[in-house]
Structure 1
Amino acid sequence: MKLVRLLLQAFGPFTNKVVDFSTGSTNLHLIYGPNEAGKSSALRAMTDLRFGIPVRSSDVFVHAASDLSIGGVFLNQSGQRIGLVRRKGKGVTLARLNVETEQPDTSLAVEGALERELTGGLERSEFEAMFGLNHARLREGGKLLLAGEGDLGSALFEASAGTRGILALLAALDVDAKKLYSPHGRAQNAVMNEARRQLEEQRQAWRQAQTKPADWQALNRAHESARTALDEVTQALETLRRGENELTELRTVEPLLREHDRLVAELRSLAGIPDLAENAREERLKAEQALARAEQDRKEAEHELEQCATALAVLVLEPLLLQHADAIERLVSEASAAAHHRVEIQQQTVVIDRMTSTLEMRVGRIVLGREVDEILRAVPSDADRGLLDTHLAQVSRLGDRLQEYQQRADTLDEAMKLEVEAEPVLADQTVRQALATTIRHAQSLGDVIRQRADLDRQIRELEGQFALALSDLSTDSEQALRSAHPILDAQIAFTKQELSGVEDRQRAARDEYQLVGRDLDEQRLRHRQLAAEGEVVTADTLRLARVRRDDAWALIRQAYIERSQDTEQSGHRFDADRTLPDAFEAAEREADRQADLLRADAKRAAGFEECSMRIEQMEARRSELERQMDALAAQYGEVLARWGRQIGQAGLPDLAPETLHEWQGRRQDALQLAERMEALRTDRHRLLTQVAESASSIAEVLRTLGQSVDEKRVRDLQGLSSLIEQGLKWEKHTVQAEAEHSARARATKQQQVERDKLNRLLTETKAELERHLSALQEWQARLYLPANTTPEAVKARLTELDELVRHHSTSSEAQQRKAHLQAILDDLRKQGDRVAALLSESAPEDLDHFVDALRKRLLVARESAQARAVLIRDQTRAQEKKRLAELAQSAQEAICMQLCAVAGVPTIDQLPELEEAAARKREAQRNLSLLQDQLARASSRSEEELRTRLASRDAFTLESERDRCRAEIERREHEQASARQAEEQARRDLFAVDTSDRAAIAREAMESAAARYRSAIRPWARLRFAHTLLQEALNRFREQAQAPMVSAASSFFSLMTGGAYERLVTDESEDRPVLCAQRTGGTRIRIEEMSEGTADQLYLALRLAALELRRSSHPQMPLVLDDALITSDDERAANILRALAQFAENGQVMIFTHHRHLIDVAHSALGDQGFVSHTL
Structure 2
Amino acid sequence: LWLGIRRRFMPLPGEAGSAEPPPPADRYEQAVTSADDAADGLFADAERATRYAEFRVRESQMQNGIALARAREATAVSERDDLDRRWAALLAAHSLPPLKITESAQWLARREAFLQQFDTSRAKQQEARLCRTLAQDIRSRITGIHGVMNLPAPAAAERLSETLVRARGIAKRHAEQRTQRQLKATHRANADAALKHADAATSASGTQLDDWKRQWAQAMGTIRLAADASEEEATARLQQLSELAQAHGALDRSRNEQRNARIQIDDYQSRLVRAWQRVRDERLPADERSADVLAGELYRELIFTRARQEKKNTLSQQIDDDRQAVAEARQAADEAARIIDKLLAQADCQTIESLELIEQQSAQRTALAATVRETEARLVKSTALSLAEVLKQAEGQDPDAVAEALDRNSQENEQNAADVQQRHAAYLTARQTFDRMDGSAAAADAQQQTAQHAARISELGADYAASRIASAVLAQVIDTYQKRNQGPLIDQASKRFAAITAGRYTSVVVDYDEDKQILKATRADGERLSMEQLSTGRRDQLFLALRLAAIEGHLDNGEPLPVIVDDITIHFDDQAAAATFQVLADLSRRTQVLFLTHHEHLLDVAKASIAGTYRSHRLSS
Q: Normalising by structure 1, what TM-score?
A: 0.19
Query: Which protein, 1 or 2, shows the higher relative CO under an 8 Å CA cutoff with sep ≥ 6?
Result: 1
Larger radius of gyration between Structure 1 and Structure 2: 1
